[in-house]
Structure 1
């Protein structure tokens, strides 16, 4: 092994990515300033992603990445010293050392990885409306449904909970013989109408969109046990970061579900992680492949939230790397926050393509030795234009480099190899069996049967009366055993206070208030306030 090769990874706080006239090093201390990997299909983006993931893992940084075609799964197996790999390594002065990395596979559908689940409450109305492709009126009714659920202590876990709640807001039956049901839901309907005109037609449209989502696999995504994001942030016995791979070949067939799911994960990370300041390396690096799907037709409210999360999650020690074909796929206000850039070849056959190439070239700090616009169209497979942040946080001049070969296998693994990895997984058994807890659906069924306690006087003292509210607030301050996704009355009160404050404060001031309060209090109420002001992406 050469002296240079021995320093790869975290030895000197850098990741060796490639070599041209100059060596290209990604500084770990600046890796949470986010990044962008772009290039046409077949130019080497996936290999670059694997090289970067390997470097982070060597440095003890956990990695999350979506695997669109299955090619990234090879990182879990020992690399093969093929002739072209050894040749490229030798040309860079490297002694190729085959390696493999501890990997956990995840799959929303639970077929090729551990199931990934979230509760409907955790997803929240804004993201769920995006997932369902609702218009503003329909999104407003969905917000009403969530508010009514909070106020009535109805826990939203899975799809049947949400369906039951929508039926309760506007009962689907009004026939003779349904009097008992009508009486049980009268208070809920009245509460819903108090927030605005909730019509059967609008609720019916939402129900139909829920059916579309169910047909796309949404039923398997919503439920318990819900994902604990700390399971992504682990190291193996050798101190290397675990590589978490989301199997996304099937998920990508539902682009909006894919994009909204990854955005939910980002917002959950932002919500849960404490402020970290400037670290010597990130706590987690998140690769967002096919990133253009996140921004396609996104409404302004959602774009504002995306920009906010990307801007602020850096202070939580998380680096976000968008992977897409062209920098123009990413809005300028997000693109401006991506400091580490890798640009593979783009083709310029049409005037539109040529305009895109010129726009891509303009995102780099110029190098007088390179005609960036011309070079982008001339890059060979495995070559890239690279600009990483330097010690003072400014982008380096763009350089043309050959990306170093990965140490692990390039390409997909076999089903047998995947089964063996899952059998030895550190989270084996934790998420594999779904749990159907008592939630809104069961509670509403009890109301129909006349056995449930009404929202005006819960038997457990968790809401309704003043004493119950005080008790819940005390529980919120000193800690509760409420499961993630289930809000106590005290938490609802704290959140509603935040909603009121947020509505009175202009735009970005709300974010500053939430951040300040969280920093001062540091407890459950502080985190709830952050969820109201900044985490409004989940509950707005």
Structure 2
């Protein structure tokens, strides 16, 4: 079996069953949520001969004490519908009057142990318990409830076509057991005759969700670190290239003209001087002629 990491165990918060029973509202809400989830998830199976999953809710009076009517209606509805999903629900309590009549009417199989009636309230509880059974002409159900011995019970189950059977008085078989550990030979024989013999002989340590998530987180950190290193290397390369360009001496262009450029410049200067002198003579000559 896989061991849960210490960190996961430390972060897990669970409410023990005895603590849950001290909070009736929370207990009833949990029951309703559990049955509702099963009703939504499990497939429809109709009316199977045996339920695939059975829940036993002990101290059932804690579920219904001071419970609001809306919650009782919802519990009644879920208990009625969840049977078609192959789920059986048993409420265990010392007194049948602890269970609301609307919920009690949905319970098909009944097992009633002895009730002692010394007060008017207890006598009423005996009558209520007797009336929930289909009468048996062989005996009085109300009297039998007060006369049951240890290990005896009144039992009524569903017969064919969903009809409740007549109540019967029966002995409850005690569980078979042994005080002390079994021998290696007995253990080996039980393992070999088990319906799942051979299926769990090989230990398989599959990869857990914790390991998968841890590996993904580590891979993400490594990818992020690699990206940061690449960005830093590129930044350093750009800085080095910039510094290298700044330190290189600038190439100065020579201002001395070539012979061809000097000849062209001299010719242009001579032409400009000649044109300038001609313009001056023309202007002065025009002014002289006007003066005459």
If the TM-score is normalised by the length of the shorter chain, which range does it land in?
0.5 to 0.7
Q: CA 1:399/1:430 → structure 2, altered by over 3 Å: closer, same or farther? A: farther
**Other-structure match for 2:235:** none
Residues in 2 aligned to 1:404 and 1:264: alpha-carbon distance in whole angstroms: 34
Q: C-alpha distance in 1, partners of 2:66/2:209?
A: 33
Q: Identify which of 40, 48, 62 aligns with 1:293.
A: 62
CA offsets 1:429-463 (integer angstroms, 9 cap, x no match): 9899xx9xxxxxxxxxxxxxxxxxxxxxxxxxxxx
Which structure exhibits the higher relative contact order, with contacts defined as CA atoms closer than 8 Å and separated by 6 or more residues? Answer: 1
Equivalent position of 2:165 in the other structure: 396
Aligned counterparts of 2:55 and 2:156: Cα–Cα separation in 1: 19
Residue 257 of structure 1 corresponds to 26
CA gap of 1:271–1:402, structure 2 versus 1, over 3 A, is same
Partner of 2:137: 368
Which residue number in structure 2 is paired with residue 378 of structure 1? 147
Higher helix share: 2
Q: Deviations over 1:493-528 (max 9, x none)?
A: xxxxxxxxxxxxxxxxxxxxxxxxxxxxxxxxxxxx
Q: CA deviation at 1:349?
A: 0.9
Choose which of 50, 54, 67 in structure 2 pairs with 1:281: 50
- What secondary structure is seen at the aligned counterpart in 2 of 1:392? helix
- Partner SS, residue 266 of structure 1: helix
Give the direction of change, closer, same or farther, for the CA distance of 1:307–1:430 in structure 2 (3 Å limit). Answer: farther
Alignment partners' CA distance in 1, 2:140 and 2:115: 14
Distance 1:307 1:348 in 2: 29
Residues 1:324 and 1:430: Cα distance change in structure 2 (over 3 Å): farther
Measured on the aligned residues, the alpha-carbon RMSD in Å equals 3.0
For the residues of structure 2 that align with 1:255 and 1:346, how far apart are their CA atoms?
Answer: 25
Unmatched segments (≥5 aa) in structure 2: 1-8, 180-203, 214-292
Question: 1:258 Cα shift?
Answer: 3.0
Return the alpha-carbon distance in structure 2 between the equivalents of residues 265 and 378 of structure 1.
38
Q: 1:255 to 1:297 in 2, by over 3 A?
A: closer
- Give the Cα separation in 2 of the matches to 1:368 and 1:257: 43
Q: Give 3-state SS (helix, strand or coil) of 1:347's partner.
A: coil
> 1:262 & 1:403 partners in 2: Cα distance?
28
TM-score (norm 1): 0.30
Deviations 1:5-42 (A, max 9, x none): xxxxxxxxxxxxxxxxxxxxxxxxxxxxxxxxxxxxxx
User: Is 1:317 matched up with 2:89?
Assistant: no
How big is the shift at 1:408?
4.6
Q: Which has the larger radius of gyration?
A: 2
Q: Deviations over 1:132-177 (max 9, x none)?
A: xxxxxxxxxxxxxxxxxxxxxxxxxxxxxxxxxxxxxxxxxxxxxx
Match of 1:271 in 2: 40
| 1:368 CA displacement | 1.1
> Against the structure 1 CA distance between its residues 272 and 249, is the aligned structure 2 distance closer, same or farther, given a 3 Å change threshold?
same
SS in 1 for 2:161: coil
Match status 1:302 vs 2:71: yes
Identify if the C-alpha distance between structure 1 residues 430 and 295 changes in structure 2 by more than 3 Å, giving closer, same or farther: farther
How much has 1:336 moved relative to structure 2? 1.1
Deviates more, 1:306-315 or 1:290-299: 290-299
Would you say the 8 A contact 2:154–2:167 is kept in 1? yes
Closer, same or farther: CA 274–409 of 1 in aligned 2, 3 Å: farther
> Alignment length, in residue pairs?
176
Compute the TM-score of the two structures, normalised by the length of structure 2.
Answer: 0.54
String of CA shifts for 1:452-497, please: whole Å, max 9, x gaps: xxxxxxxxxxxxxxxxxxxxxxxxxxxxxxxxxxxxxxxxxxxxxx
SS at match of 2:27: helix
5+ residue gaps, structure 1, are 1-113, 118-218, 222-246, 411-425, 436-540
| Residue 337 (str. 1) matches residue 111 (str. 2) | no
Q: Is residue 407 of structure 1 aligned with residue 184 of structure 2? A: no
Deviation digits for residues 300-355 of structure 1 (CA, Å, limit 9, x no counterpart)? 21111111101110111111111111221111111111111100011111011101
The offset of 1:392, in angstroms, is: 2.5
Any conservation in 1 of the 2:25–2:67 contact (CA below 8 Å)?
Answer: no
